[in-house]
Structure 1
């Protein structure tokens, strides 16, 4: 179907069927025209806002009207091609060079005729050293506020590590310096080496993985991250937030040996110990065997002098004690104590005999009193006890009936009687 102007209606096919309203509803029997897809893609992409991105220039192709740049992410293996018109490039104070770190304002653009997607660069600015230092300083302050750099959380290094974990560049001088100087100080030292990228886009991820691997090994007592210095841009991975947090979370003590005095990376702040150079790290991690042997010799000499002094003092004290009478003639003390014991024993026996005699007299007196008060004594004096037949004692003559049987108890024996009357 044609419209009033004679053109084909884009919403209908040649057979007159209505086109699918969305791409998901298309089919082999009812496809979209390619122009419609391109038109919709153009409209969709045009709605995407412009965005500032950061990366490193790895390719730069200058033309008369435009420059074509390949920009790579600073932390990942991701690249993007940009189109920069000459009007934008001319605004730069200095010519853009390969390897420069830049921020760019880009807007995706879709060219309908060829179906080509391009990234149009509306603005581009180089990232200077001042900008990088300002970013690092802001991150330093934020991490310090979290307490990641606090001295209280730093671990002490072992006096003599059984095995040292070493993270360094592949076949680097830093690795050789650490291992050679450590072996000179302590020949029996052992290393667990991880050779990684120490600059560039893969540095952060490789160093972080190596740190996690060494931290998980119980035989590794300390970990050294070493690099032989470099420019500020080369050392940026050692100020990356992911690496700093990984070091802060490590259970094994970490030594930073980046070897850059001018601008200290944040790794120096979070590490448990900062060494100025890889050589200094080797000296700080293991003791010097010569110095330790000298210290042992000095300690043994001091211990020997102290023992000799103590033995001499105790010998003099024993000699002084042996001159005392108690030790020179100990039998004298025993004889005097034997006399004291005999005297005290005689006094005890005498006191005991006197007490026994006194108590015997008291018992005799009490026995006489008891006997004088006994009924038998009364009977012995001529008295008698009169009882009725039932055994009750007669106390009143009126209680006894005439002809009642009586029992009369005298001092020796009993008598029977019959009551004849009473008065």
Structure 2
């Protein structure tokens, strides 16, 4: 029922606010298409300003942060969205607002949401695993380039790479970089280049563009082909803000074609400077090493043992000579003493020898049978016997015999 008021009987403002709150509360939830003009996060709550796509109309909205984070694509200021909201009227201030229950991106946002789902699906399969990334060769024998014909990307890669390394060799395969058939064309060039033995790295280059322009480089078939490629692949698609799925599966992501040229070949000037620096450092290191070794040798040679290396030998030789002389003297003394002893023994032996007795004028009488004659009773008259003297034998015949009493016997008898 309509509220009846007159100038004489006006309605209080609070009544109008209550009626508006009731009317809006009965409206229920609605789907609204709008653009996000402003977005603020504060303590788990997001405050937004929604703006009509054509008219200059805007309205405040709010939601829990989980509603915004639950969107399939990132929501930022300027995003076109469709929201499910419950209108609410704040009576104390008389302001209208929307309580958001769901946010769905539209236009480019929806496309980004689709790409995000594809990205998550491929990541779950492990296609983006960093452990699968291969290192690029330091100096490739040949570089395969897949790009648009006569494109700025082609010129950037070729010119910058040749400026860095003039002898670099490229094999270029032109392909569509946009529109239907682009992904298939790139896959065909990728297959040809990966089959070539002299190609060590493949670059896929394009000079940026909108999300729609870059869709072929997020094609699932192309992503799987790059993942299966046996040759390292460099993705050089677009500029820094552009991140097609190809960037994630490639072995190396270059922000621009120029950046790719700088990263696939070394700079010959830097390499020559590096070689010169290494040669200089090596020379300095060798000279320093030789200097240290010369100083060490000088220090060793200055030591007494090396200054006169025969000192120890001379000392030992002197000791040997002294020992030899002592041995000689000792041996001489022993030989002299032994000679004296032998002489003494010889003298004693000679003194006791019968021959020595014979030499003093004695003789030994012996019968023909060799018996020594010690008594006159052993010899008959006219008997023959021999007398042994110092230098021979004398034949003797007995003429007479006479017994002589010895002095010792006479003493005994007396």
What is the TM-score when the length of structure 2 is the normalising length? 0.51
Cα distance in 2 for partners of 1:147, 1:265 equals 17
Cα distance in 1 for partners of 2:221, 2:324 equals 93
Q: C-alpha offsets along residues 68-88 of structure 1, whole Å, 9 cap, x if unaligned?
A: xxxxxxxxxxxxxxxxxxxxx
Between Structure 1 and Structure 2, how many residues are aligned? 226
In the other structure, the counterpart of 1:319 is 298
Cα distance in 2 for partners of 1:144, 1:190 equals 34
Cα distance in 2 for partners of 1:313, 1:301 equals 18
In the other structure, the counterpart of 2:263 is 284
Does 2:188 align with 1:209? Answer: yes
Decide whether the 8 Å contact of 1:167 with 1:211 is kept in 2: yes
Q: Which runs of 5+ in 2 are unaligned?
A: 1-105, 331-414
Does 2:244 align with 1:265? Answer: yes
In the other structure, the counterpart of 2:215 is 236
- 1:325/1:235 Cα in 2 relative to 1: closer, same or farther (>3 Å)? same
Cα distance in 2 for partners of 1:148, 1:258 equals 19
Cα distance in 2 for partners of 1:220, 1:172 equals 22
- 1:345/1:271 Cα in 2 relative to 1: closer, same or farther (>3 Å)? farther
Decide whether the 8 Å contact of 1:196 with 1:206 is kept in 2: yes
Deviation at 1:184, TM superposition (A): 0.5
Does 2:118 align with 1:150? Answer: no
Q: How does 1:26-41 map to 2 (within 5 A)?
A: none
Decide whether the 8 Å contact of 2:178 with 2:213 is kept in 1: yes
SS in 1 for 2:160: helix
Decide whether the 8 Å contact of 2:236 with 2:256 is kept in 1: yes
Which of 303, 309, 319 is matched with 2:282 structurally? 303
Deviation at 1:130, TM superposition (A): 2.3
Cα distance in 2 for partners of 1:165, 1:344 equals 89
In the other structure, the counterpart of 1:191 is 170
Q: Which runs of 5+ in 1 are unaligned?
A: 1-126, 351-423
Q: How does 1:114-263 map to 2 (within 5 A)?
A: 128-263=107-242
What is the TM-score when the length of structure 1 is the normalising length? 0.50
Cα distance in 1 for partners of 2:139, 2:326 equals 76
- 1:334/1:236 Cα in 2 relative to 1: closer, same or farther (>3 Å)? same
Deviation at 1:274, TM superposition (A): 0.8
- 1:170/1:344 Cα in 2 relative to 1: closer, same or farther (>3 Å)? farther
Decide whether the 8 Å contact of 1:259 with 1:275 is kept in 2: no
Deviation at 1:324, TM superposition (A): 1.4
Cα distance in 1 for partners of 2:325, 2:262 equals 85
In the other structure, the counterpart of 2:379 is none
- 1:258/1:341 Cα in 2 relative to 1: closer, same or farther (>3 Å)? farther
Bigger radius of gyration? 2
- 1:143/1:336 Cα in 2 relative to 1: closer, same or farther (>3 Å)? same
Q: C-alpha offsets along residues 349-392 of structure 1, whole Å, 9 cap, x if unaligned?
A: x9xxxxxxxxxxxxxxxxxxxxxxxxxxxxxxxxxxxxxxxxxx
Cα distance in 2 for partners of 1:145, 1:174 equals 32
Decide whether the 8 Å contact of 1:257 with 1:281 is kept in 2: yes
Which of 269, 274, 282 is matched with 2:253 structurally? 274
In the other structure, the counterpart of 2:78 is none
SS in 2 for 1:306: helix
In the other structure, the counterpart of 1:50 is none
Decide whether the 8 Å contact of 2:143 with 2:202 is kept in 1: yes
Decide whether the 8 Å contact of 2:208 with 2:242 is kept in 1: no
Deviation at 1:257, TM superposition (A): 0.4
SS in 2 for 1:330: coil
Cα distance in 2 for partners of 1:250, 1:282 equals 20
Q: C-alpha offsets along residues 272-326 of structure 1, whole Å, 9 cap, x if unaligned?
A: 1111111111011111111111111211221122112111111111111111122
